Amino acid sequence: MLAAPYMALTALAATLFGQVVAIPSPTIAQVHVDEFVRRDADAPPFVKRAASCTFPSPPKTSSLSAPITVTGTFDGGNVRFDRGAGACQEQTEGGDSDAVFLLQSGATLQNVVIGANQAEGVHCLGPCNLYNVWFEDVCEDAITVKQTSGQSNIIGGGAKSASDK
């Protein structure tokens, strides 16, 4: 007669003990992008507000006559890069030759400030990584990702004066 309650109590104790001594995994599970979107589908609508981040103060400016092509990792040391006075033609669509940086597949661009004198900021010609890339004044496009597969990462950074984006 006591066997059933004893077994139920044993099962309950084992369950509680298992929850108490459970140790979280030291690894973080990958989250698929579609899962993230579905999970946040009921989130409140985006509210436009002023940026709460601090843009870097570039120590100098490097005006380029042609885009810098990056195949590995390029760390700009928070230098301002642009394409020279008159490069921005408002909303005139440009191409790869108008970009400040051209990133080949798998390339990483980090710690750069894209100045106002540019038409096209960064063009990724395949999966790329952008870390702390800042845009002082977006002309036509800040970032163009031209990949057919793979994953690109954009972490940190920010953009100002992109009212039409």
pLDDT at 126 over 90: yes
Instruction: Tell me the per-residue pLDDT of 17-29, one tens digit each, with 9 for 90 and over.
Output: 444 444 444 444 4
Tokens of 113: 């400030």
Tokens of 103: 């990133």
What residues make up the domain containing 100? 61-85+94-159
Does 148 fall in a domain? yes
Does 10 fall in a domain? no
The dihedral over CA atoms of 93, 96, 101, 103, expressed in degrees to the nearest 10, equals 130
The tally of domains found in the chain comes to 1
- Read off the CATH number of the domain in which 132 is found: 2.160.20.10
Instruction: Tell me the per-residue pLDDT of 60-105, one tens digit each, with 9 for 90 and over.
Output: 999 999 999 999 999 999 999 988 877 777 766 778 888 999 999 9
Looking at residue 50, the DSSP 8-state letter turns out to be: -
Give the separation between CA 28 and CA 140, rounded to whole angstroms.
38
Does 75 fall in a domain? yes
